[in-house]
Amino acid sequence: MNIKIENIFPCLQWLKGYQYSHFTSDLIAAVIVTIMLIPQSLAYALLAGAPPQLGLYASILPLMVYAIFGTSRTLSVGPVAIASLMTAAAIQNLGIENEIDYINAAIMLAFLSGMFLVLMGFLKLGFLANFLSHPVVSGFITASGIIIGLSQFRHILGIQASGDNVLELVETIMLNIQSANTTTMMLGIPVLLFLFWSRSGLIRLLNYFSAPQKIIKLLPKVAPVLVVILTCTLAYQFNLEASGLAIVGEIPRGLPSLALPVFSNGNWIDFILPAIFISIIGYVESVSIGRTLGAKKRQKIDSNQELIGLGTANIASAYSGGIPVTGGIGRSIVNYNSGAETPLAGFMTAIGIALAAMTLTGLLSYLPTATLAATIIVAVSNLIDFSILKKTWNYSRSDFIAVLLTIVITLLSGVEIGVLSGVAISIFLHLYKTTKPHIAEVGQIAGTEHYRNINRHKVITYPEILTLRVDESLYFPNASYLEDQILQRIAEREELKHIVLMCPAINEIDISALEVLESINQYLIELDIGFHFSEVKGPVMDHLKKSDFLEHLNGKIFLSQHQAIEGILHSNYQNAKEKPGF
């Protein structure tokens, strides 16, 4: 019974061995992440096109819920750039402009995303995320990072600009750049440069002056908070709003009211597909981060339980009036590096955000949107990784083409089309690779019982015997390819008397492939060529025995490839009438 309860509430697993030293580490990590998350929460709400308080609300209850249902001990959940951008794109595509309707739409996306994730978790469908290949996801995230960064330059320049893709953004920025606000630029550009410099230059400066290591590690992380305090002060003291500087404005003080989104107008159906996209991308990103950080501490995460953890976090975000959430790369790494031992760090971070929502909203109302834009640009710059192009070019040209197509399509068509293309490209790439499995002709390495590819090793072969090793399961997309390969080799070798199919990598033969094998067998009977199998796995053999294929097989099945060659060389099978055996 305890095992079942712990499966439902993974927090019980780490609470059992919780120690005071863990609490200290979690508290320190929580303080650092809270300081980092306050400006990020406001910034990502801005990116989603929602009022800033929705970002704060999405950083309170969701963190608490994930600490209960999530399995990663260091993943930090909250608003993130990609999900916020996808939220904005989904709502804008439906033409929603009224602020109340916009807020309800953002909350609805969080709720539907959460419900979809929880449903997938209960159905144990975590494996479906594997259909999005990692290179394709990297390409999508890189392109999205570029779109996000470019979209925020309007706030740095103080101009009006819009668009869902790079072409539209560049066009509108160029059309309006002449109306750039000097005050906004004089504040936004230095803030942007400082934040970029703080990531490396500040560390070198602190090392130069031999600052304590704790200060060196902490100060770059709190740099966004420093610019928030400074720019809020400047905006208030010099009344920069009167000079055209856009500020966040009044933020409601206090904690959010708890209520579900309104479904009465029926528009929620239009949000199902965008919610699914947000869920899938968020889940893939979160699981990737969780596995990476968990591996460093030899901790394993449960992919299906993560669906439930992230799903309930999104439902909690909707219930508390927040935007869609998922695991953030930057804050999770900070959480890990700051010494977080358990999800209690996230729970305490939520308390810190709640205190900020109750006490700091008055000060944050003077926060320039240019500061938030600079924070977003610097944060998403970590998402842009063109090295994946070089890596895939060197390793796999098909993966390179998939990544390049995903980047180009996302940049030119926007994130929603980018997600669709990413899914389609991933599935097509998988199908393409399996339709043409690697089939190697093998021969015997002299003095051994090992058989290897004739193109890679010096091996012994026999003109009357052809051995083909199939390095993939046989099913409907690739069975015909195997048939073509066999027929081609028969046409090239008139002396051929025996064909051996070496099967150590074949884990399954579906009914379509079985029919192809039967067709090949019948053709070989007519040519008086033996058709043999070696190293067939037990489960595959069990399925073959359920059919009548073995009864009509024009050859035998051997336990090993070496036995097959020895048996063919020393026996005459042409007139053999015994049934094939295993």
**205 has pLDDT over 60:** yes
Rounded CA-CA distance 83/329 in Å is: 12
- List beta partners, residue 271: none
The mean of the pLDDT values for the chain is 88
**573 has pLDDT over 80:** no
pLDDT for 553:
94
pLDDT for 420:
82
pLDDT for 4:
65
**For tokens 């995320």, what's the residue?**
129
Burial letters 553-579, b for 16+ CB under 10 A, else e: bbbbbbeebbebbebbeeeeeeeeeee
Rounded CA-CA distance 548/567 in Å is: 24
What does the pLDDT average to over 65-89? 92
Domains along the chain?
19-385 (no CATH), 439-570 (3.30.750.24)
Contact in structure between 398 and 383 (CB atoms under 8 Å): no
What does the pLDDT average to over 8-21? 84
Task: Quote the tokens at residue 574.
Answer: 């042409």
**114 has pLDDT over 60:** yes
**208 has pLDDT over 90:** no
Contact in structure between 502 and 468 (CB atoms under 8 Å): yes
**338 has pLDDT over 90:** no
User: Tens digits of per-residue pLDDT, 412-422?
Assistant: 998 878 888 88
pTM summary value: 0.81
User: Tens digits of per-residue pLDDT, 477-535?
Assistant: 889 999 999 999 999 988 999 999 999 999 999 999 999 999 999 999 999 999 999 99
**178 has pLDDT over 70:** yes
Between residues 293 and 549, the one the model is more confident about: 549
Q: What phi and psi, each to the nearest 5 degrees, are found at residue 232? A: -60, -45
Nearest to 363 by CA among 243, 219, 239, 253: 253
Dihedral of CA 69/73/75/77: which sign?
positive
